[in-house]
């Protein structure tokens, strides 16, 4: 609308009428604010009253939402409805108002930079007055004309309403701040309750992001996992991009940074109250996540211990490995959210699949043997990384990162492996599960199986040795003493017959006596070989001294033991005798040393036999050491043989006295 530009005198009735009308408008708006009305209603009334004071010209209230964007919050007869977002460029009217922080007039849009936008809405001219809050341009009051320039008093009247809007916004913000503070406390309380009620951290994290979206100045809120290296720290200026300002707030537990809350702000900078609330929000979220993770960890630990106990009970009852291994795989898979678990066992032909759960690989499948020359191995689990990578690739394919391999070691020797392929959607972390405990149970299963096999083999060898000894004794008696006794009987019968006929019997009696004495000697030698008289009468020291008396090589003795339980003395004697015989007969030793002493506690016998022979003694080669080992282990003792080729043999035997004493009492 076009109106005359003639100034109105201060005492002119028209001016007074306008001032009175403007005052009523401002009072109406103030009353609406005092009634705690909605912000939208206050802004809309301000636009209507401002338009009325400008004789019906269109009035629009806008606020800046981004560097290059504003939003229509209220309008009366304006070209765009509330809620409309409008992009603007440098040099345009909104840009000038925001940069200059003062009123800007456009009398002819056709010569302006935003002429095309104005033409789109049919605008010819406008006046825009900034709404300044604490030194920042919050928005603008804008009057527009479809016909020509607006009157010169437009700026003054818009500024009056702009001042009232500033007061209105301050009051509304104070009221909203109080409401927001209550909502903030409520949100934090509800979030904290999740540490008691929630079964996972997902609910708490969703609440965190949802609440962040309700805060002033927040456009988007996202939870990011850790590690996160692409986004900077919230206080870093680099985090405020020119077009999409963003900040990140760490969600920290006492142990580590668990993740981040990423905020994309509507404008730069983010309001101080919003920043403070976001910081308190992530602090509470961190405590909640920590509590939930702790509870879940304790629950997982309890389930893990129960699984380990069930497997241990199977092993203790002597269940076969073919039944124990599937149980280990199934229990471990369940703890890891049904992740594939495969157990590999090494036998004489290399690695073979012993059990599998949630995996398509078949039990009994052979795996390729790793190149032994390329593997640098050290004792224990830590020295088998290369082999675990090879096994993991063989089982699941692809790179080693597709799974986790844990070695199963028995006596520091690689005997198998647990191989796990974590599921992508699984929340269970293999690194936090005690995989070594399951590997130990698998190792115990293998060790028990080997022990059982060794025990069976040992019993078979001992039975065979006893049978062989009985047959040898039978042959020795039959071929020796028994024959002498038969000759004695025959000679005596002939002597009886000769005597009946008056023939001299002296020669026959002498012959019989000779055979009887030889039979007696042979029987005495047999008995001495079974259990020497010196041993039974004088103990271990006398028995060993008697044995070495007639040997062809010197034997040095250091025997400092008293009389011991009979079973210990017999085992110790035959151990020393077998070791000395092997040293002379097989190792071609020139010197042998034997020592015997009791332990400090007096509950064990320590017996050592050392020689300077050729060495290389190996019990697994089926020598007399195998039977000796069986005898010692049957007595509850241990044997250690050190025999490097060319450097002699050192045999160390430990025999407990308590079990032998109990055996003697039972006898």
Domain membership flag for residue 183: no
> Residue 344: is its pLDDT beyond 60?
yes
Mean pLDDT of 129-150: 88
Between strands 350-357 and 246-252, the pairing is unpaired
Residue 104 three-state SS: strand
> How much is the pLDDT for 31?
63
Whether 323 and 235 share a structural domain = no
- Per residue in 440-497, pLDDT (tens digit) is 877 777 777 666 666 656 665 665 655 665 666 667 666 666 777 877 888 788 888 8
> Residue 273: is its pLDDT beyond 60?
yes
Please state, as a whole number, how many other Cβ atoms lie within 10 Å of the Cβ of residue 594: 24
Query: DSSP H helical segments within 501-550, as ranges?
Result: 506-530, 533-548
> Residue 549: is its pLDDT beyond 70?
yes
> How much is the pLDDT for 365?
87
- Please give the residue range of the domain that contains residue 411: 318-426+433-453
Q: What is the 3-state secondary structure (H, E, C) of 429-474?
A: CHHHCCHHHHHHHHHHHHHHHHHHHHHHHHHHHHHHHHHHHHHHHH
> Residue 222: is its pLDDT beyond 80?
yes
Among 237, 262, 297, identify where a domain stops.
Answer: 297
If one compares 171 and 121, the residue with the highest pLDDT of the two is 121
> How much is the pLDDT for 652?
93
Domain membership flag for residue 65: yes
Q: How far apart are alpha carbons 415 and 412 in whole angstroms?
A: 9
Whether 230 and 359 share a structural domain = no
CATH number for the domain that contains residue 653: 3.30.565.10
Whether 258 and 346 share a structural domain = no
> Residue 543: is its pLDDT beyond 90?
no
> Residue 336: is its pLDDT beyond 90?
no
> How much is the pLDDT for 39?
73
Number of structural domains in the chain: 4
> How much is the pLDDT for 34?
56
> Residue 105: is its pLDDT beyond 90?
yes
- The DSSP 8-state label assigned to residue 151 in this structure reads P
Domain membership flag for residue 188: no
Mean pLDDT of 156-168: 79
Domain membership flag for residue 7: no
Whether 267 and 411 share a structural domain = no
Whether 171 and 286 share a structural domain = no
Whether 131 and 231 share a structural domain = no
Lowest mean pLDDT among 76-90, 281-295, 526-540: 526-540
If one compares 447 and 567, the residue with the highest pLDDT of the two is 567
Domain membership flag for residue 514: no
Whether 39 and 158 share a structural domain = yes
Between strands 638-642 and 649-656, the pairing is antiparallel
Helices (H) and strands (E) in the chain, counts: 16, 18
Average pLDDT, the chain: 76
CATH number for the domain that contains residue 147: 3.30.450.40
Domain membership flag for residue 485: no
Whether 21 and 163 share a structural domain = yes
Contact residues for 387 (Cβ-Cβ < 8 A; gap 6+): 370, 375, 377, 407, 414, 417
Lowest mean pLDDT among 92-106, 162-176, 268-282, 629-643: 162-176
Lowest mean pLDDT among 131-135, 170-174, 344-348, 361-365: 170-174
Whether 45 and 170 share a structural domain = yes
Domain membership flag for residue 494: no
The percent of residues above 70 in pLDDT, for the chain, comes to: 72
> How much is the pLDDT for 535?
79
Whether 218 and 292 share a structural domain = yes
Mean pLDDT of 85-94: 90
φ, ψ for residue 554 (rounded to 5)? Answer: -70, 140
> How much is the pLDDT for 240?
40
The DSSP H or E segment spanning 240 is none
Domain membership flag for residue 237: yes
Whether 266 and 401 share a structural domain = no
pTM score > 0.75 for this model? no
Residue 480 three-state SS: coil
Q: How far apart are alpha carbons 348 and 364 in whole angstroms?
A: 14
> Residue 12: is its pLDDT beyond 60?
no
Task: Give the angle 362-366-368 at the CA atoms, nearest 5°.
Answer: 130
Contact residues for 226 (Cβ-Cβ < 8 A; gap 6+): 256, 257, 258, 259, 260
> How much is the pLDDT for 390?
80
Among 177, 206, 229, identify where a domain stops.
Answer: 177
Whether 43 and 163 share a structural domain = yes
- The DSSP 8-state label assigned to residue 370 in this structure reads P
Reported in sequence order, the residue ranges of 325-461 that DSSP labels E, i.e. its strands, are 341-347, 350-357, 404-410, 413-420
Q: How far apart are alpha carbons 455 and 633 in whole angstroms?
A: 10
Contact residues for 155 (Cβ-Cβ < 8 A; gap 6+): 103, 105, 127, 129
> How much is the pLDDT for 102?
92
């Amino acid at each position: 609308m076009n109106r005359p530009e003639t100034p109105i005198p201060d005492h002119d009735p028209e001016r007074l009428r306008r001032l009175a009308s403007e005052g009523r408008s401002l009072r109406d708006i103030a009353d609406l604010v005092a009634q705690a009305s909605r912000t939208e209603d206050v802004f809309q009334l301000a636009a209507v009253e401002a338009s009325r004071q400008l004789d019906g010209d269109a009035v629009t209230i806008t606020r800046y939402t981004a560097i290059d964007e504003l939003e229509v919050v209220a309008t009366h007869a304006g070209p765009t409805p509330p809620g409309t977002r409008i992009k603007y460029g440098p040099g345009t009217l909104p840009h000038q108002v925001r940069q200059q922080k003062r009123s800007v007039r456009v009398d002819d849009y056709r010569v302006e930079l935003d002429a095309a936008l104005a033409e789109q809405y049919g605008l010819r001219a406008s006046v825009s007055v900034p709404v300044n809050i604490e030194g920042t341009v919050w928005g603008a009051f804008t009057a527009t004309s479809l016909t020509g320039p607006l009157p010169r008093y437009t700026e003054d009247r818009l500024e009056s309403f702009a001042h009232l809007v500033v007061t209105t916004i301050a009051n509304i913000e104070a009221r909203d701040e109080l409401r927001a503070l209550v909502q903030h406390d409520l949100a934090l309380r509800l979030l904290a309750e999740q540490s008691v009620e929630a079964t996972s951290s997902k609910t708490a994290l969703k609440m965190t992001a949802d609440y962040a979206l309700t805060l002033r100045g927040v456009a988007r809120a996202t939870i990011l996992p850790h590690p996160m290296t692409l986004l900077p720290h919230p206080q870093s200026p680099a985090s405020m991009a020119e077009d999409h300002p963003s900040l990140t707030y760490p969600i920290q537990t006492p142990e580590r940074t668990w993740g981040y809350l990423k905020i994309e702000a509507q404008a730069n900078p983010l309001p101080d109250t919003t920043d403070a609330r976001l910081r308190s929000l992530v602090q509470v979220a961190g405590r909640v996540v920590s509590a939930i993770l702790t509870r879940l960890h304790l629950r997982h630990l309890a389930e893990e211990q129960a699984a380990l106990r069930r497997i241990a009970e199977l092993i203790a009852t002597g269940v076969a490995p073919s039944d124990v291994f599937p149980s280990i795989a199934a229990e471990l898979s369940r703890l890891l959210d049904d992740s594939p678990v495969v157990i590999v066992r090494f036998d004489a032909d290399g690695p073979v699949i012993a059990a599998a759960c949630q995996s398509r690989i078949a039990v009994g499948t052979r795996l390729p043997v790793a190149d032994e020359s390329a593997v640098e191995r050290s004792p224990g689990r830590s020295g088998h990384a290369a082999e675990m990578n090879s096994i993991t690739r063989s089982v699941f394919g692809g790179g080693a990162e597709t799974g986790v391999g844990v070695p199963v070691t028995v006596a520091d020797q690689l005997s198998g492996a647990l191989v796990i392929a974590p599921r992508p959607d699984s929340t269970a972390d293999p690194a936090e599960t005690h995989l070594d405990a399951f590997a130990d149970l698998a190792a115990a299963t293998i060790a028990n199986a080997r022990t059982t096999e060794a025990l069976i083999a040992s019993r078979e060898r001992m039975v065979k040795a006893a049978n062989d000894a009985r047959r040898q004794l039978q042959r020795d008696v039959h071929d020796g003493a028994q024959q002498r006794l038969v000759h004695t009987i025959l000679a005596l019968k002939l002597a009886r017959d000769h005597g009946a006929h008056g023939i001299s019997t002296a020669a026959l009696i002498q012959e019989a006596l000779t055979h009887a004495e030889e039979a007696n000697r042979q029987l005495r030698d047999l008995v001495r070989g079974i259990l020497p008289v010196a041993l039974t009468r004088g103990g271990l020291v006398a028995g060993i001294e008697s044995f070495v008396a007639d040997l062809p090589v010197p034997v040095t003795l250091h025997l400092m033991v008293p009389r011991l339980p009979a079973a210990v003395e017999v085992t110790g004697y035959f151990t020393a005798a077998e070791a000395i015989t092997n040293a002379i007969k097989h190792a071609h030793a020139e010197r042998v040393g034997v020592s015997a002493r009791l332990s400090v506690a007096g509950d064990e016998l320590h017996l050592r036999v050392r020689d300077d022979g050729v060495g290389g003694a190996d019990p697994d080669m089926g020598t007399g050491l195998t039977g000796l080992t069986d005898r010692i282990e049957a007595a509850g003792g241990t044997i250690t043989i050190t025999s490097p080729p060319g450097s002699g043999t050192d045999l160390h035997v430990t025999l407990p006295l308590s079990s032998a004493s109990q055996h003697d009492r039972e006898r």
